[in-house]
């Protein structure tokens, strides 16, 4: 009887494929995607984020705009707020843009990435985003600026904590 039960359990175990054990819905909840998603991600080219000028410098956005970025304090462990101000050629703030940022540690790709986060527009017309610096080391913030849903700027800023 005991050997019959063991044989039945063994046959049940080997008859299931890994996909049937975990189910498709399991793959969507974890950080790992199915093999098809991984293959597709490997063939897509990641966008280029050229290095930006230092904080506080004017950075052109096409021919008609520029922006200045900075932080509420020198980036260190904990939360730091990144601020972006966008101006027209006339020097007046422009709030018609969307600004996104992704922060992470290039040396630990995927471990601390925040994913694209939208900046919030303040009453003063500044774009603000809190960024949580969770450990010492080299960090990178990748900034994306959009106008009417189209990406018009990508850039990165690297710093050490």
* Predicted pLDDT of residue 43: 63
Q: How confident is the model at residue 45 (pLDDT cuts 50, 70, 90)?
A: confident
CATH of domain 59-160: 2.60.40.1930
Q: pTM here? A: 0.69
* Tokens read off for 109: 């790709």
CA distance 30 to 106: 22
Domain ranges of the chain: 2-43, 59-160
* Predicted pLDDT of residue 88: 97
* Tokens read off for 75: 């980036």
CA distance 126 to 8: 66
User: Is residue 36 scored above 70 in pLDDT?
Assistant: no
CA distance 10 to 147: 60
Percentage helix, strand, coil for the chain under 3-state DSSP, each rounded to 5 = 25, 40, 35
Kindly report, residue by residue over 1-32, the tens digit of the pLDDT: 554 444 444 444 334 433 333 333 333 333 33
Kindly report, residue by residue over 104-137, the tens digit of the pLDDT: 998 877 676 778 999 999 999 999 999 999 999 9
């Amino acid at each position: 009887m005991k050997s019959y039960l063991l044989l039945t359990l063994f046959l049940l175990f080997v008859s299931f494929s890994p996909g049937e054990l975990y189910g498709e819905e399991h793959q969507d909840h974890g950080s790992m995607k199915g093999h098809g998603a991984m293959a597709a991600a490997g063939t897509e080219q990641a966008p280029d984020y050229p290095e930006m000028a230092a904080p506080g410098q004017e950075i052109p956005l096409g021919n008609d705009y520029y922006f200045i970025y900075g932080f509420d304090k020198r980036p260190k462990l904990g939360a730091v707020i990144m601020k972006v101000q966008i101006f027209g050629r006339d020097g007046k703030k422009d709030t018609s843009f969307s600004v996104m940022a992704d922060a992470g540690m290039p040396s630990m790709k995927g471990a601390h990435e925040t994913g694209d986060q939208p900046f919030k527009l303040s009453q003063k017309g500044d774009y603000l985003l809190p960024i949580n610096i969770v450990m010492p080391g080299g960090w990178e913030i990748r900034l994306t600026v959009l106008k009417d849903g189209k990406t018009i700027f990508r850039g990165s800023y690297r710093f050490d904590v």
